[in-house]
Structure 1
């Protein structure tokens, strides 16, 4: 029985060392300070819309924190205790962040609905001043992380969040103008509901890929049947089973499989060809492949869920 295992950049995310870290750190500090000012100002002005904008801005700050932390952790080498490195810390933190945002958004919506019947008097001047300041910070933050966003999909998402946040700040300024000019106090809870919906929409767009990685799902965009045809099309390979495909993190895909080899086949050469095709056609750089002789029983069959009374596995291809 043959066994082959490759490590290509194992434990690293291939991020440029230190590129843009200073700008990201400055952006995080500024956004956290802005969040505190908006939430405090929202309580003083009795504006749920301003508090909602602050919470939305907090999501941007946390996204930047995750991006910054991931860049730092990704440079740490893998260890026997953390054999995949620290790449998945970003995924866990992102999931916790999104769940917290869902809870906060629901709370904001409930608060806004309670204010629709009897809107309180909102300090329009303070609301517009803080929202205007937030708009400047959002644009400045986007400018700070723009360069780094070209290198990292994670930071690019945070960059797009900042642009969306700028639009939300414009909406809050508009609400303050309506209250100041026409006394339309109902504009504040209505805007709060709108901002809550925007936050939930953002979370809905981004929590799916995070859940897929946490559940060890196959990377999106990979045709499973095409992959099977490619593997079993290599000379000397009769079939494949125990095939598992998952994402280590957002940049690294992994595969493990058993190959059933025909009599007389060069097992080492077949494994090399399979790995080369996996890397070339499917972007899978981390492959663990075990070989077996055709007709011989699989040694792992009885140690997996999904086997029947005869030891066959339901991942047979």
Structure 2
């Protein structure tokens, strides 16, 4: 009976958050790299695992921003025959890589902290506090630079979370340095490092779910599958709907494909138009590929358990 496609908003659009330029991200990268060198060097001098860990985490911040920057540039590329949806999902992949890196860093921090709890080192608390205080200022400044874009991009939000987590690390390192400097409690360094790793893992757990759903081509969270089928079956001339696939292209675009079973004598072209208008209005789905089939005919698509199925 034919196919109909909607292509609104697919071609020639970057779908990128506004308000933050590439130059801003590059500045944040350079500052974080400089901070990384200062903290790692200071950590060796002060014999502080927490400070070295904070420096390594700052390095991950810089790499996260580099990844976010690259994905942001890649996502601007227009759609092509080989990449018909464009490159917007590059930001989703970048976010996933950033979260995996955070998990790896947190596990490493925890292992190092457990090892140092057995025999706490003699840490130079004053130097630790000074460098961690400087790191906190840089972390907060970097987070402020990308805050606007973080509200609209899962990719930039992952990098933003890196900076917030590292700011928390810096606060804890300052506290540990203060306890060591004031009371000689050297166990504070590994204890706080262990707590920090747990906090970072908790934050990642809260954020990685939606990214995984997009990578797995899952339906957007909160979509009622039965209600969607029922709404399409309620279109004039439609006897039923099946072979429904719904997935997120990226954070801002959702796609759908479905077969509509038409009653005898029904106007398939009009039914498809009405179904698309309903999907756009009621479900926010702008890209829909709809095939119309006659009632009683076998499903035209093989696979997915529909082989030879009659309506």
TM-score for the superposition, normalised by structure 2: 0.90
**2:178 alignment partner in structure 1:** 177
Per the alignment, residue 303 of structure 2 pairs with 304
Residues 52 and 196 in structure 1, CA contact (< 8 A), matched pair in contact too: no
Cα deviation code 1:85-126 (max 9, x no counterpart): 111122223223322322222122111111112101112222
Shift of residue 35 of structure 1?
2.8
> Structure 2: how far apart are the matches of 1:96 and 1:150?
19
| Equivalence for 1:206 | 207
Does residue 9 (structure 1) correspond to residue 13 (structure 2)? The answer is: no
Q: Separation in 2 of the partners of 1:136 and 1:184? A: 25
2:114 equivalent to 1:113? yes
Change (3 A) 1:94 1:14: closer
Kept in 2: contact 1:13–1:252 (CA 8 A): no
Q: Which moved more, 1:251-260 or 1:15-24?
A: 15-24
Q: Which runs of 5+ in 2 are unaligned?
A: none
Alignment root-mean-square deviation, CA: 2.3
Does 268-277 or 88-97 show the bigger shift? 88-97
Aligned counterparts of 1:268 and 1:43: Cα–Cα separation in 2? 72
1:108 and 1:146, CA in 2 relative to 1: closer, same or farther beyond 3 A? closer
Alignment of 1:108-257 (within 5 A): 108-149=109-150, 151-152=152-153, 154-156=155-157, 158-159=159-160, 161-257=162-258
Per-residue CA deviations over 1:163-182 (Å, capped at 9, x if unaligned) read 44333312211110111111
**What is the rounded CA distance, in whole Å, between the counterparts of 2:79 and 2:19 in structure 1?**
19
Equivalent runs, 1:28-43 vs 2, <5 Å: 28-43=29-44
Q: What TM-score, normalized to structure 1?
A: 0.89
5+ unaligned residues in a row in structure 1: which ranges? none
- In 2, the alpha carbon distance for the partners of 1:280 and 1:2 equals 23
Mapped partners of 2:17, 2:98: distance in 1: 25
Change in Cα spacing, 1:120 to 1:225, as seen in structure 2 (3 Å) is same
Equivalent in the alignment of 1:100? 101
Q: Which moved more, 1:21-30 or 1:140-149?
A: 140-149
Identify which range, 291-300 or 99-108, moves more after superposition. 99-108
1:64 aligns with 2:65: yes
- Equivalenced residues, count: 310
